[in-house]
Amino acid sequence: MTKTALVTGGNRGIGEAITRKLIADGYQVAITSRDGSGPDEAFKVKADLNDPVSLDAAVLEIENNLGPIQILVANAGVTNDQLLLRMTDEDFENVVATNLTGTFRVVKRSIKSMLKSKFGRIVMIGSVVGSIGSPGQVNYSASKSGLVGMARSITQELGGKNITANVVAPGFINTDMTAALPEETQANYKSRIPAGRFAEPEEVAATVSFLVGEDASYISGAIIPVDGGLGMGH
């Protein structure tokens, strides 16, 4: 029976690459986004992770149309970079609300279906800065670091139920955002990466594809870096 996967924020960038990879792998893939856009082959639903009512409705719509969610890729996230002295309480809270609390909400709403199916794969998209930090990203780094504790606690609670929870931690990825950076800035970033280049979104997607499959059933509570060696040792 074809398994159903949900990718939050699956309409662009890394999320879109993950969506396309899982579709190619043969899964039924639903995606959530704030505007309801995404690849034609995906089942698209509007949802705001900061709105519990919106999320309840989205999960219900997905499961009514595709069946129980057995694979969850919690990818949706935001940034709002500011140096600590300039960062407001709201700047911090809004990023944590989407990246950490929003992930909790969608995991909580998917877990019952995984338990009933006796199969579950949860992959949270973290970041190398969740381990090594980054100037101007106290909020973002904290939110991504928190995913590690979440995944490991889920592993402790549900590891015996054929449910795994892992964090994929990308480094610098070739996206529209990195492409817009000045060449000098890009060169500076690349000089810090042992691999000497940015990753492609498809490289992150391939890692997710492995983790949600049967061959990764004994991997849980792990941080899988896709960062060219940038965060090694952390």
Q: What residues are labeled active site?
A: 140
14 within 8 A of 201, measured Cβ to Cβ = yes
- Write the CB contacts of 170 (distance below 8 Å, at least 6 apart in sequence): 14, 125, 126, 127, 128, 199, 204, 226, 227
Cβ atoms of residues 19 and 201 within 8 Å:
no
